[in-house]
Chains A and B, each alone.
Chain A
């Protein structure tokens, strides 16, 4: 029987599911974001931006769930083999990853809210998402567009670091840190 919650040494399946779902969606969003500004077809660009917005709101919802879940479920301890430096820096890197997961979709929401194009937001054509209470202006739009881009670049750097660290744990340190984000904890542990 696999456990939904984390244990002192392992992640539960809820954490694992949220981690991979958010990870895959975020990488997809990076690709979509870069693609939309390079397309020559205005129609395809418009439609992909709407998809990017829909996925962004889905991500924001999942991230809120993830942060709440994380606050109520302590992460498992690092294996004893992990050194002192990593013991200090790993939580900082994870904190930065969480901060960016919240900030990136919020900056996108701010961008569509202040845009003078006034394009409504309807996640997956299901309902109208209200705008954030921010003043609409060309200056505000270019500010939030830049913020969204810089956060995306920062996010890519953080995710790359995160993936490199996971691969290092798996292939160089061989300490099971990557595997515990793949196989959930069991009730017996």
Chain B
């Protein structure tokens, strides 16, 4: 009896949703491991007088779990190793790794643990979670857009703004904006 009601509800939900979304839910469910080789975590910080400052992290790991039928129960965990920061300018990299910014020696990991996933469109969702860096935790929101799904591989384009002052990394403001613009491509492989 319960099973039938749930089945009906699921069918109704599928009917109400656009085709793409239905496909996503049916096929995408499962656990994925983020593949660093086909993923990227880039960031930009605006600079006074125009222009910006670009960087990327090359070393990170994480998982994406898509819940069958209930996107809201999906989960994203991401660990970034700030030691791997790269800007193309060695002196700036050293500065970022130092205790002026990441203090990578004492805080080797930046962690994001999602707490809720809210669907915002056919292929978009708002991911809310706890970001921890340098011993401080704050709630952050990222926009995730499904960018590809095939044969056990799922790809998201994730963007979001983080205020670095929340993590004791406000050095250089207002020369450099307090807002860090993240632009990530996260590719997960099933299993």
Q: Which residues of A contact B (CB under 8 A)?
A: 41-43, 46-47, 50, 116-120, 122, 125, 128, 130
Which residues of B are found within 8 Å of A125, using beta-carbon distances?
174
Which residues of A are found within 8 Å of B105, using beta-carbon distances?
none
Given known A-B contacts A43-B100, A128-B49, A119 and B175 have beta carbons under 8 A apart: yes
Name the distance in Å between A48's Cβ and chain B's nearest Cβ.
12
7 contacts between A and B (CB under 8 A): A42-B98, A42-B99, A43-B99, A117-B92, A118-B47, A120-B47, A120-B175
Residue of B nearest to A119 (CB): B175
Given known A-B contacts A41-B100, A42-B99, A120-B47, A47 and B171 have beta carbons under 8 A apart: yes
Q: Which 7 A-B pairs have the closest CB atoms?
A: A43-B100, A128-B49, A42-B100, A42-B98, A120-B48, A120-B49, A128-B48
Contact with A along B139-172 (1 / 0, CB 8 A): 0000000000000000000000000000000011
Q: Is the CB of A46 within 8 A of B48?
A: no
Query: B91 near A: Cβ within 8 Å?
Result: yes
Given known A-B contacts A41-B99, A117-B89, A46 and B47 have beta carbons under 8 A apart: no
In the complex, A177→B161 CA distance in Å? Answer: 62
Residue with the greatest number of chain B CB neighbours at <10 A, chosen from A43, A119, A122, A130:
A43
Which residues of A are found within 8 Å of B49, using beta-carbon distances?
120, 128, 130
In the complex, A12→B98 CA distance in Å? Answer: 51
Name the distance in Å between B97's Cβ and chain A's nearest Cβ.
9
Q: Is the CB of A42 within 8 A of B95?
A: yes
In the complex, A50→B51 CA distance in Å? Answer: 19
Name the distance in Å between A157's Cβ and chain B's nearest Cβ.
31
Name the distance in Å between B171's Cβ and chain A's nearest Cβ.
5
Which residues of A are found within 8 Å of B172, using beta-carbon distances?
46
In the complex, A50→B89 CA distance in Å? Answer: 20
Name the distance in Å between A77's Cβ and chain B's nearest Cβ.
48
Q: Is the CB of B171 within 8 A of A43?
A: yes
How many chain B residues touch the partner (CB < 8 A)?
A: 17
Question: Quick one: which of B48, B94, B99, B101 contacts A122, CB cutoff 8 A?
Answer: B48
Which residues of B are found within 8 Å of A42, using beta-carbon distances?
94-95, 98-100
Residue of B nearest to A128 (CB): B49
Residue of A nearest to B53 (CB): A118
Name the distance in Å between A117's Cβ and chain B's nearest Cβ.
6
Q: Which residues of B contact A (CB under 8 A)?
A: 47-49, 51, 89, 91-92, 94-95, 98-101, 171-172, 174-175
Which residues of A are found within 8 Å of B91, using beta-carbon distances?
117
Name the distance in Å between B66's Cβ and chain A's nearest Cβ.
41
Name the distance in Å between B185's Cβ and chain A's nearest Cβ.
26
In the complex, A125→B174 CA distance in Å? Answer: 7
Which residues of B are found within 8 Å of A120, using beta-carbon distances?
47-49, 175
Q: Is the CB of B48 within 8 A of A116?
A: no
Residue of B nearest to A125 (CB): B174
Given known A-B contacts A120-B47, A120-B48, A128-B48, A46 and B171 have beta carbons under 8 A apart: yes
Residue of B nearest to A43 (CB): B100
Name the distance in Å between A100's Cβ and chain B's nearest Cβ.
28
Q: Is the CB of B100 within 8 A of A46?
A: yes
In the complex, A119→B99 CA distance in Å? Answer: 19
Q: Is the CB of B98 within 8 A of A50?
A: no
Which residues of A are found within 8 Å of B174, using beta-carbon distances?
122, 125
